Structure 1
Amino acid sequence: MHKKTSRHSHPRIYQDGDCISLEFANGEIQSQMLMSDPNHLVLTYTRAMMAFSFFHQKPERIAIIGLGGGSVVKWCYQNHPDAGITVIEINPDVISSREQFLIPPDDHRLRVIEGDGADYVANTKDRTEVLLVDGFDAYGQSPQLCSPAFYKNCYRALAPDGLMVVNLCGPEDQGSIDNIRNAFHGRTVIAIPDDGENQLVFAFKGKRSQGEILPAEELSEKLRDYVLIPVQIQ
Structure 2
Amino acid sequence: MGRGPRIGGDDGALSRSAVQRVLCQTMALLRYGGTLMHVSRDEDGPIEVVDEDGVRAMHFGTSSRQSAMNLADPEQLELSYTRAMLSALLFHDSPRRILMVGLGGGSLAKYLLRQLPEARIDVAEKRANVVKIAHGWFGLPEDPRLDIHVGDGMAFVDKAAPDSYDLILVDAYHGYGMAAEIAQHAFYQRCSLLLTTGGVLATNLWGNDAPILARSLRMLEEHYARPVLQLHVQGKGNVIGLAFNRTPSNAVMKGLREKAFALQQRWGLEFVLFAKQLRRANTAWMDWL
TM-score exceeds 0.5: yes
Kept in 1: contact 2:227–2:247 (CA 8 A): no
1:141 and 2:178 aligned = yes
Alignment of 1:15-164 (within 5 A): 15-98=51-134, 99-105=136-142, 107-125=143-161, 127-164=164-201
Kept in 2: contact 1:60–1:83 (CA 8 A): yes
Higher Rg: 2
Distance 2:233 2:140 in 1: 25
Say which SS state the counterpart of residue 118 (structure 2) adopts: coil
Distance 1:70 1:32 in 2: 9
Backbone CA RMSD of aligned residues = 2.5
- Residue equivalent to 2:29: none
Distance 1:118 1:183 in 2: 16
Amino acid in the other structure paired with 1:228: E
- Residue equivalent to 2:10: none
Shift of 1:209: 4.2
Shift of 1:27: 1.5
Shift of 1:133: 0.2
For residue 176 of structure 1, the aligned residue among 207, 216, 219 is 216
Distance 1:210-1:78 versus aligned 2 partners, 3 A rule? farther
Amino acid in the other structure paired with 1:79: Q
Say which SS state the counterpart of residue 149 (structure 2) adopts: strand
- Residue equivalent to 2:237: 197
Distance 2:108 2:251 in 1: 22
- Mean Cα deviation higher: 83-92 or 49-58: 49-58
Amino acid in the other structure paired with 2:141: P
User: Can you list the C-alpha shifts for 1:162-218, whole angstroms capped at 9, x where unaligned?
Assistant: 110000015211101100011003331111122211000111113624576349xx7
TM-score, structure 1 as length reference: 0.87
Shift of 1:68: 0.4
Say which SS state the counterpart of residue 181 (structure 2) adopts: helix
Distance 1:101-1:149 versus aligned 2 partners, 3 A rule? same
Kept in 2: contact 1:55–1:211 (CA 8 A): no
Higher helix share: 2
Kept in 2: contact 1:22–1:31 (CA 8 A): yes
Q: What is the number of residues matched between the two proteins?
A: 226
Kept in 2: contact 1:86–1:110 (CA 8 A): yes
Distance 1:157-1:14 versus aligned 2 partners, 3 A rule? same
Kept in 2: contact 1:122–1:157 (CA 8 A): no
Distance 1:134-1:182 versus aligned 2 partners, 3 A rule? same
Say which SS state the counterpart of residue 25 (structure 1) adopts: coil
Which runs of 5 or more residues in structure 2 are unaligned?
A: 1-41, 282-289
Amino acid in the other structure paired with 2:222: N
Kept in 1: contact 2:48–2:58 (CA 8 A): yes
Distance 1:57-1:147 versus aligned 2 partners, 3 A rule? same
- Residue equivalent to 2:226: 186
Equivalent pairs: percent with the same residue? 27
User: Can you list the C-alpha shifts for 1:128-154, whole angstroms capped at 9, x where unaligned?
Assistant: 110000000122101211211111100
Kept in 1: contact 2:91–2:248 (CA 8 A): no
Kept in 2: contact 1:32–1:69 (CA 8 A): yes
- Residue equivalent to 2:284: none
Kept in 2: contact 1:189–1:212 (CA 8 A): no
Distance 1:78 1:14 in 2: 25
TM-score, structure 2 as length reference: 0.72
